[in-house]
Amino acid sequence: MMKFLINRCVFIAACLILIGLTLSGCSAQVTECPESLQVVVNDKNSVLLSWGAVDEAIGYRVYRRLSGSPDFKFVSDTETAYYTDSLPEPGSYDYQVTALGPHGESAGTIFLASYVPTDSISLSLPEITSVTRLDIGTNVIFFSDENTGCEYEIQRQDESGNWSTIGKTADHIYYDIAAPENGSYNYKVLALGTDGEMAESEIAAENTNPKTVFGVPVLMYHEFVTQEDLDSGIAFDEYAIYYHEFEHDLQWLQQNGYTTITVRELALYLNGQGEMPEKPVILTIDDGKLGVYKNAFPLLQKYNMKAVLAVIGIEIHTASEAPELRSESPAPYCTWAELAEMSASGHVEIASHSYGLHVYQHDGRIGADCGEPDTMADFQMDAYKDFRTLQDCLKNYDIPSAVTFAYPYSVRSIPADEVWLQCGYQMLLGGNMESVRASRTNFFLQEAGLNAHSSVLRRIARMHGTPIEDYIG
């Protein structure tokens, strides 16, 4: 009898354990699956994978298979939301990424047919999208293609029919500063492969593009202050101006027939959508200081004008986490909620000044420039992480995604251009502008996509107390 009771107790206990496990399984949480897996070619031997970060993830697991194979094979674990994969052999590859969290491994996000490496890359034909003469007597050749890490040779045909090489570039734009002032000249672009292979574009003549590349005045501001701000101890640098100076600028622009546009509107125009006003002008504001919301935004509303605000994401995040502490900050910033209000008004377009790369001389890098001692792979990883972080923040506050990236400190490089365009930005504001407050400096504003266009703009940094009519008119 005693043995029977013991066995019965064991049986009941086992049932209870089984029931407990079953109930636990029914209510068990699962780790969220990574989203937006992207694969970008570094070179013929490696690819860069990136995906959206999962909040509770402690790491990620990367799988790979040859396209058409039934099963994915483990490649590596990583703690970051990106991974550079060295390709084992030629072939077409699929990738799968899972998240590792407190609830185990998630389901996988799959990217199919990412890349087909070959021993020798077959070059695609470059396509000249426009050849335009600037008012400074320079012909600008814009071209696009699907080659990666390629050098381009630019050739020009003279009136006698002879072709000559006028320069080389790794960018998708070339300035022919030695073009004769009179006459029309033909151009062609050659893509040069590392193994001697060459792909030649069709011939394009000057001024074949119906969309004229025109100069657009761009006024760059930073901070707007009142006397009350100064009395309260708010710190401001030499780029700050009094809010009434900004109002004078808006009045002058209005009285002289200028219409403010956003960079997004210019991008649409260059892509064949919409028209430009007779006298367009772009107002840009860097950083995202609180004075933009308090002092500049009401004036934009008053005069029905627009501005492009390129924000430093990490500063906006810090201000948003503890807005009550801004009164104690020597240089307070806007919050995400304030950016959302300005964006919803239609008077302010939010752009990126990077999320967390606005740092001078960090590990040898100045801002978002790709230079020594950076490797391209490291820079790509940082760029993708920065891009996704800022866009996620904007999405959380229903702010349209940033299509424009303004280089911190205005330090730009051609390799960096390509990376930021691959990230998803459509337009880049940049240029190496030393002595920026003392001079007018040209810089590029480049549209991404198959039919890429560029426009040379005049970017003006306002000197404190200098009338706008000294710069534009």
Which DSSP category does 365 fall into? B
Predicted pLDDT of residue 43: 61
Residue 210: pLDDT over 50: no
Predicted pLDDT of residue 327: 78
R_g of the chain computed on alpha carbons? 28
Task: Output 282 or 118, whichever has higher pLDDT.
Answer: 282
Predicted pLDDT of residue 365: 77
pLDDT band at 464 (very low <50, low <70, confident <90, very high): low
In degrees rounded to 5, what are phi and psi of residue 408? -60, 135
Predicted pLDDT of residue 212: 46
In degrees rounded to 5, what are phi and psi of residue 341? -65, -45
Q: 113 near 94, Cβ under 8 Å? A: yes
Question: What contacts 24+ positions apart, CB below 8 Å, involve 231-234?
Answer: 233/330, 234/291, 234/330, 234/331, 234/332
Bond before 323 cis per omega within 30 degrees: no
Closest CA to 349 of 428, 284, 302, 412: 284
Which residues, in sequence order, are CB contacts of 258 under 8 Å at separation 6+?
217, 279, 280, 281, 472
CA distance 203 to 205: 7
**DSSP β-bridge partners for residue 311:** 287, 352
CA distance 403 to 423: 10
Q: 108 near 33, Cβ under 8 Å? A: yes
CATH number for 217-470: choose from 3.20.20.370, 3.30.200.20, 3.40.50.1820, 3.40.1160.10: 3.20.20.370
Closest CA to 263 of 429, 441, 391, 401: 429
Which residues, in sequence order, are CB contacts of 386 under 8 Å at separation 6+?
313, 354, 355, 356, 357, 368
From 104-108, 162-166, 250-254, 364-368, the region with the lowest mean pLDDT: 364-368
Which residues, in sequence order, are CB contacts of 108 under 8 Å at separation 6+?
33, 63, 72, 96, 97, 98
Predicted pLDDT of residue 334: 95
pLDDT band at 301 (very low <50, low <70, confident <90, very high): very high
Closest CA to 85 of 52, 126, 44: 44
CATH number of 38-111: 2.60.40.10
**Tokens 């109930």, residue?**
23
Which DSSP category does 363 fall into? T
pLDDT band at 40 (very low <50, low <70, confident <90, very high): confident
Note the pTM of the prediction, 2 decimals: 0.60
- Average pLDDT over every residue of 282-305: 94
Predicted pLDDT of residue 44: 61
CA distance 130 to 142: 5
- Average pLDDT over every residue of 285-292: 93
Residue 318: pLDDT over 60: yes
Predicted pLDDT of residue 446: 46
Task: Output 290 or 39, whichever has higher pLDDT.
Answer: 290
Top-confidence range, 17-31, 115-129, 131-145, 290-304? 290-304
Top-confidence range, 32-46, 116-130, 224-238, 280-294? 280-294
In degrees rounded to 5, what are phi and psi of residue 255? -65, -25
- Average pLDDT over every residue of 292-296: 95
In degrees rounded to 5, what are phi and psi of residue 167? 165, 175
- Average pLDDT over every residue of 171-182: 72
pLDDT band at 26 (very low <50, low <70, confident <90, very high): very low
Predicted pLDDT of residue 270: 67
Residues carrying CATH 3.20.20.370, the chain = 217-470
Predicted pLDDT of residue 340: 96
Residue 46: pLDDT over 80: no
Q: What angle do CA 468, 471, 472 make, to 5 degrees?
A: 85
pLDDT band at 351 (very low <50, low <70, confident <90, very high): very high
Closest CA to 179 of 157, 204, 146: 157
Residue 297: pLDDT over 90: yes
Residues carrying CATH 2.60.40.10, the chain = 38-111, 127-205
The three-class DSSP label of residue 353 is: coil
Longest Cα–Cα distance in the chain: 116
Task: Output 420 or 175, whichever has higher pLDDT.
Answer: 420
Handedness of CA 104, 106, 107, 111 (dihedral sign): negative
CATH number for 127-205: choose from 2.10.25.10, 1.10.3470.10, 3.30.56.10, 2.60.40.10: 2.60.40.10
- Average pLDDT over every residue of 262-269: 83
Predicted pLDDT of residue 391: 92
Predicted pLDDT of residue 338: 97
Write the Ramachandran bin of 167: left for phi over 0, alpha for psi from -120 to 50, otherwise beta: left
Spell out the alpha helix ranges (H) of 75-153.
Answer: none
Task: Output 62 or 143, whichever has higher pLDDT.
Answer: 62
Tokens (6 digits) for 453: 């266009």
Handedness of CA 372, 374, 380, 384 (dihedral sign): negative
Predicted pLDDT of residue 67: 79
The three-class DSSP label of residue 115 is: coil
